[in-house]
Structure 1
Amino acid sequence: MAVSVAVVGMGPLGLIALKILKEDGFDVSGFEKRSWVGGLWKQSYDSTLSVTERTVFNSSRFRSAISDYPFSDAIDDFPTARQIWQYMESYCDNFGLRPHIRLNAEVKTFSRVQDKWAVEYVQDGSMSTGFFDKLMISPGTFVIPRSPKLKDIAKFEGDVLHALNFPNPSRFQGQNVLLVGFRATAQDLVVELAPYAKKVYIAHRNGLLLVSRYAADGKAYDQAQSVSFMFIQLFMEKWFPNLWGSFLDKIFARMSKKSFPHQPDEWGLTPAPSVATTPPLIADAIYPHLKNGFAEPVWGVQEIIGPNTVKLIDGRVLDDINTIIYTTGYESAVTCAPKEYNPYPVADEPPLLFRNIFPLHSNPDVRNSLAFLGQGAFPFPGFVQFELVAMAISQIWQGRSHLPPLSQMRQWHRSHLAWRQSLAKRYNSMAYFVAVFLSAPDHMRWLDRTAGTGIFAHFSSPFSWRAWRFWWADPAFYRLCKNGLFSPAIWRLFDMGHGRKPWAGAKAQIIEDNRVAEARRQERLRAVEKEKLEGKQGGT
């Protein structure tokens, strides 16, 4: 009889996990409180986190696809939110997941009952309980809205809301809007407000690097990371972290100034925190609004001094502010978890989990049957790193890979906290060092080994017999994999004896991904040259 698994949350991570577990022979059941799959990638105006109408994915289509389900030709270089949602709907149907999913089914809590997980959920107004051998929770990375406590906010007579509750933007017609916080959400709201608001101020207390989606050679910015370059990154981050961090900061600062040369000192964007703790903002959407003055970065709020008046920490006073919107992000949480299994006993602190996945529970049956998705991440584009987590969990639950003893799991957690503390101290910054960030050199190697993908075995060492055999069989293809586009399909090439067969279409997809990326790069360069030529002709 197949082992039963409940997967709570049918956003991208939950869907991917459901497919992988189903593929590996588990009896799967998915639970989703909304009436659709794909989670936040479908816009909603309720009290749940979602994209806005004009949100664009930060990773390019060339790096973002699920490893065995490529994007269609119609997808933009940087997919829109709607394209991502439609992609998830298509993924769900292509792999026959929909019959295994309960929609409008909100999991309220879970407990351990006679060696089973009792999952209590409300569906269509009725409470039910399902019993499962394994339980996977996928609440998303950011759950509880974080709102600052502005001094004397009670004096403010305009609307005050969190971005989570952002309504139809037409509501802000002719208003002066103050956004508190400058990250991706602020960019999304500026774009939404542009047709309606009179002026938008963006209050922030830390610097920020603005980078473009495209490099000067026409490639998407994330195409710079080939397989070879990834291993250089992992080596440098592990053995020479200070040198590598300084190098990346200089590179990104140069890229920022070249892509967006108009960055006045008054905006307060420099000095920016290190990219080691604070990722840059892909700022193509917001920069035109910054440049034309519609959106203006200002210093953080000191206090509210009148019904519509805000004083900033540099002494400047903003009059006639109609609405304040917090774009200050979210805390990670698992709201359905009872106290015994809650991975966040302390809010906004790293989760009490091994590899940010498995509970550090005294009962080995709990450790080997409960897992959390989306609670660990490192700078790597697209959905692949979350696929790897689901693959690793599946391999462990099948007994093909194994968790270490509890003492080693706890030692890993202590080492992880020490790494975070040393990084924060080194860069004197916790500006955006969110609770789920992990060390890539350590965690990626563990994921590769536990999931059984074979990337390290075939590419990381020139002395590997697997690498030599792969090169000997097809030298040109080997070079394309290692130095060409880092296609997601590369993760599906190899059979490492873990019971998961390679994707038969992986090689063809890698070749096609490289062809499409190059064709679009050439098309983009031609468009840029045409634009320059028309500009010169218009100036004569």
Structure 2
Amino acid sequence: MGDEKAQMTCQQVHGPLVIGAGPSGLAVAACLSNNGIPSLLLERSDCIASLWQQRTYDRLKLHLPKQFCELPFMGFPENFPKYPTKHQFISYMESYAEHFGIKPKFKQSVESAEFDNFCGLWRVRTQDCEYVSKWVIVATGENAEPLIPEIQGIKEFHGPVLHTSVYKSGSEFKNQKVLVVGCGNSGMEVSLDLCRNNAIPHMVVRNSVHVLPREILGASTFGIAMALNKWLPLRLVDKFLLLMANFSFGNTDRFGLRRPKTGPLELKNVTGKTPVLDVGAFSLIKSGKIKVMDGVKEITRNGAKFVDGQEREFDSIILATGYKSNVPSWLKGCDFFTKEGMPKTPFPNGWKGEKGLYTVGFTRRGLLGTGCDAIKIAKDISDQWRAINNCEDVQRVLIRNLELR
């Protein structure tokens, strides 16, 4: 252990240290660059946007129109469709990094980050290096690690059990009965993909869920909601969205999709739970091709028992149970984050902590929230940067005058 510590190098970072090279890290690095401030990005994987490149299924597209998913200071190419594919979004981020000259240090997994009160700097340790900086920007985001629920008996199941982070295509499950645990956007889309590949998905809907049409009369539902929200109270916008959802789908309760009592936007703001934007799954639920199941009571060797008393056999289980933040595992001596790894201060003020700590990508408001935070962080650090440089200039002038005497 002593030899390992002796071999570890130490690097002073001239500018902010950004942890994570996903969309959030790239956005804040670009905003800093735009203000003439250098930064260093640390990325545990071997590529930028590793969640998109390594943990997403093949049919994934942006759920929102591209104008709501742009990073600061650079839009999507005009020839991209309204809803870019996964591969188009990855190419956009690679072009973005190249445009702003962002070159992360890859395969640098942060083991600890802690403020050193003695020297007044942050010490960030990876497996082979310690980085020292005045500023640390946490950009690992809300979706750093797959969230794997504890389900009784799941280790006894005879077939494959996988999280959506490793699911690629329904072609691997042709003619299989598949239990999909989770009914968010991923659960719905994976179930749709399974259907299109002649599998038989059974989707577990444990809690209530809002399902909205992705578009209303050819216009983005999200875009309409954003426009209305500028003029109307949130509850009125929610009432409009639910009216449109009822017009499109009818009463979803009779298909096993109970709506929450709180409106979709209000629920998103309070809990972070995103409404499902339907891309075709609902019609398959309606026709019975995607079978909606109640909560799982227990996984058996050959299938599952459900809370309503039913028991079914399955060939595979897919966990569409989402992701979680990993910040509490490596950020030490700091109470800015909750035990779930989210800033304690809610949006729009959760971007700045104390002693040079910042966060980007934890707004529960997607890439729009990320861009908003990245711009604020860059401005705040830019003000400090100029003050420090001015102070250093004054010191140099004083020293030169003393020397001339």
Q: Do both share a fold (TM > 0.5)?
A: yes
Alignment deviations for residues 182-230 of structure 1 (CA, whole Å, 9 cap, x no partner)? 10111232244234453101111223222222212x2222332566x44
Give the match for residue 377 of structure 2. Answer: 393
CA distance in 1, matches of 2:367, 2:324: 21
Map of 1:257-336 to 2, 5 A cutoff?
A: 257-261=246-250, 263=252, 265-270=254-259, 273-275=262-264, 276-277=266-267, 278-304=273-299, 306-318=300-312, 320-334=313-327
Map of 1:88-487 to 2, 5 A cutoff?
A: 88-98=93-103, 101-113=104-116, 114-122=119-127, 127-166=128-167, 169-196=170-197, 198-216=199-217, 218-225=218-225, 229-233=228-232, 236-237=233-234, 244=235, 247-261=236-250, 263=252, 265-270=254-259, 273-275=262-264, 276-277=266-267, 278-304=273-299, 306-318=300-312, 320-334=313-327, 337-341=330-334, 343-344=336-337, 346-347=339-340, 350-353=342-345, 355-359=349-353, 367-378=354-365, 383-399=367-383
For structure 1, the 5+ residue unaligned runs are 45-49, 238-243, 360-366, 402-540
How far 1:391 sits from its partner (Å)?
Answer: 1.8
Cα pair distance change 1:149/1:40, threshold 3 Å: closer
Cα pair distance change 1:17/1:263, threshold 3 Å: same
Counterpart of 1:176 in structure 2: which amino acid?
A: K
Counterpart of 1:111 in structure 2: which amino acid?
A: E
| Between structures 1 and 2, the one with greater helix share | 1
CA distance in 2, matches of 1:387, 1:345: 23
User: Quick check: 1:57 aligned with 2:41?
Assistant: no
Give the match for residue 395 of structure 2. Answer: none
Relative contact order (C-alpha < 8 Å, sep 6+): which is higher? Answer: 2
**8 Å Cα contact 2:255/2:285 also seen in 1:** no
Secondary structure, aligned partner of 1:118: strand
**8 Å Cα contact 2:360/2:373 also seen in 1:** yes
Give the match for residue 84 of structure 2. Answer: 79
Cα pair distance change 1:149/1:97, threshold 3 Å: closer
Alignment deviations for residues 444-475 of structure 1 (CA, whole Å, 9 cap, x no partner)? xxxxxxxxxxxxxxxxxxxxxxxxxxxxxxxx
How far 1:174 sits from its partner (Å)?
Answer: 2.1
Secondary structure, aligned partner of 2:16: strand
Counterpart of 1:325 in structure 2: which amino acid?
A: I
Cα pair distance change 1:17/1:291, threshold 3 Å: same
CA distance in 1, matches of 2:113, 2:332: 10
Counterpart of 1:281 in structure 2: which amino acid?
A: V
Cα pair distance change 1:17/1:143, threshold 3 Å: same
How far 1:94 sits from its partner (Å)?
Answer: 1.5
Counterpart of 1:143 in structure 2: which amino acid?
A: A
CA distance in 2, matches of 1:266, 1:383: 32
User: Quick check: 1:8 aligned with 2:8?
Assistant: no
How far 1:21 sits from its partner (Å)?
Answer: 0.9
CA distance in 1, matches of 2:188, 2:352: 34
How far 1:321 sits from its partner (Å)?
Answer: 1.0
For structure 2, the 5+ residue unaligned runs are 1-12, 268-272, 386-405
CA distance in 1, matches of 2:237, 2:84: 26
**8 Å Cα contact 1:177/1:197 also seen in 2:** no
Give the match for residue 23 of structure 1. Answer: 34
**8 Å Cα contact 2:113/2:122 also seen in 1:** yes
Cα pair distance change 1:262/1:352, threshold 3 Å: closer
Alignment length, in residue pairs? Answer: 363
Alignment deviations for residues 10-47 of structure 1 (CA, whole Å, 9 cap, x no partner)? 111100100111221222111122222233222x2xxx
Give the match for residue 491 of structure 1. Answer: none
Give the match for residue 40 of structure 1. Answer: 51
Secondary structure, aligned partner of 1:340: coil
Secondary structure, aligned partner of 2:125: strand
How far 1:252 sits from its partner (Å)?
Answer: 2.3
Secondary structure, aligned partner of 1:102: coil
Greater CA deviation, 57-66 or 257-266? 257-266
Secondary structure, aligned partner of 1:339: coil
TM-score relative to the length of structure 1: 0.61
Alignment deviations for residues 298-321 of structure 1 (CA, whole Å, 9 cap, x no partner)? 2111233x4223222222222x21
Cα pair distance change 1:5/1:302, threshold 3 Å: same
**8 Å Cα contact 1:107/1:336 also seen in 2:** no
Give the match for residue 394 of structure 2. Answer: none
CA distance in 2, matches of 1:395, 1:39: 27
RMSD: 2.8
**8 Å Cα contact 2:111/2:125 also seen in 1:** yes
Cα pair distance change 1:198/1:377, threshold 3 Å: closer
**8 Å Cα contact 1:151/1:302 also seen in 2:** yes
Cα pair distance change 1:256/1:5, threshold 3 Å: same
